[in-house]
Amino acid sequence: MAQDGQIIAMERNLALYPWFKFAQSLMFWQAVWFLYFQNALTPAAAIALYAVYDISVTLCEVPLGVLSDRIGRKRTLIASGLCGAAGAILLALGDSFAVFVIGQVLIGAGAAFASGTDSALLYESLAESGRAEEVEQQETRALQYALWGFAFSAALGGAMALWSFEATFWLAGMAMLVSCTIAVSLTEPSHKISTVVPGTTREALRATMAQSVLRWIFVLVVVMYGFSHLPFVFGQPFIAAALQDVGLSDEAPLVSGGVSAVMMGLSLIASLFAVRLRGKIGLSRILLVAFGMQIALISVLAFTQSWIAIAVLFLRMVPDALSGPFVMGRIQPLLRDDVRATYVSVQNLSGKLVFSVSLLVAAGSASTMAEMPHADIRTILMWYIAAGAVVWLGLALSARSAGVEVPRAY
């Protein structure tokens, strides 16, 4: 009877989880944060503040992943919501670089609490319900809810920013409190700790990384993180510069919000076909296609300043829709419960660390003018394109030997 009750609780987790992802994705500031920081400070400070966010996640990522594997998923997700709400409120109240830094650190900590823990809770709930084989489908479903949240909050946030940039952060803080409330309603899955491998986290991670497929995916995720976020960082000044050419610079927040909303909508559509496409062309190919799309998008932004190129930003999240659920579906069955969140945290930490360091270098070469010129954007992006092409080729050549593919029935 107790076991039946736990299975019912896990089914309830599966029903609540997409709504948790929806609330977690209501970042109403997502389309205007750079414009907000740029207006309050400088473009270089805006880039540096994004690097502060990534560095704060870097410092917290692995310790909080280990904490999740020790104290449980539910408590960790509650902490994520509280930190995110506090950070958003501070950014709404901020009037100096120091306050913005503290706000970014708290938002970064909130992201670190959730990193790996949310997917771990989903997979463990599926496994305990006897539905572990559904992980890719459930990850895709959760992604779709998240994309709905991103699209809605981007459109509304862009419109709100015409009246008040700060209001977007206030509303995001409220959404994070909602995600915290949902987390309180979740049930902690049973936690299994293996005794086959020595019990320290370092030894368990070393044993995990001995698997070549996990090493291959690790490199892919690290690099794709940066390429996914490049348009997030430079897309807003690019939109502002493009609109200035046609005399619509004052509408940048609204246009930026609209671009983000359409971007999420297209990604949602892509996610509807992603599982079928993955079945037809295979896992390694769909992952390489997703990474190649990221490089192509950055290339367009680098080589043209035309306002028409804004349309290319619509595709920014499509590679995530074509890769994220399948990455998690491939790695989760290979991970032990006691290092599940820790491994994903190490993977995410590495991506954020590499990207944040590159952003700090970029901030040093950025203009101190009121708005970032396209020439600066082009110079920065060209270096990313060259590095991405080299990594893509290496991954393509090593996919078969790494054993990325697994037999699956669709």
Residue-range definition of the domain harbouring residue 130: 2-187+201-402
pLDDT for 51 equals 77
Segment 12-24, tens digit of pLDDT: 999 999 999 999 9
pTM of the model: 0.76
Segment 86-142, tens digit of pLDDT: 999 999 887 778 888 999 999 988 988 888 889 889 999 998 888 888 888 899 999
* Any domain includes 192: no
Give percent above pLDDT 70 in the chain: 84
Confidence check: pLDDT of 246 > 60: no
* Any domain includes 194: no
pLDDT for 199 equals 53
Write down the residue that tokens 């104290």 correspond to. 71
Confidence check: pLDDT of 299 > 90: no
* Any domain includes 321: yes
* Any domain includes 195: no
* Any domain includes 407: no
Q: What is the DSSP track for 201-226?
A: HHHHHHHHHTSHHHHHHHHHHHHHHH
Q: Are 37 and 161 in contact (CB under 8 A)?
A: no
What mean pLDDT is predicted for residues 198-204?
65
Mean pLDDT, the chain, integer: 82
pLDDT for 191 equals 66
How many separate domains does the chain show?
Answer: 1
Confidence check: pLDDT of 290 > 90: yes
* Any domain includes 305: yes
* Any domain includes 105: yes
What mean pLDDT is predicted for residues 141-165?
85
Confidence of residue 241 (pLDDT cuts 50, 70, 90): low
pLDDT for 239 equals 61
CATH number of the domain residue 252 falls in: 1.20.1250.20
Angle at 400 between CA 399 and CA 402, to 5 degrees: 65
* Any domain includes 409: no
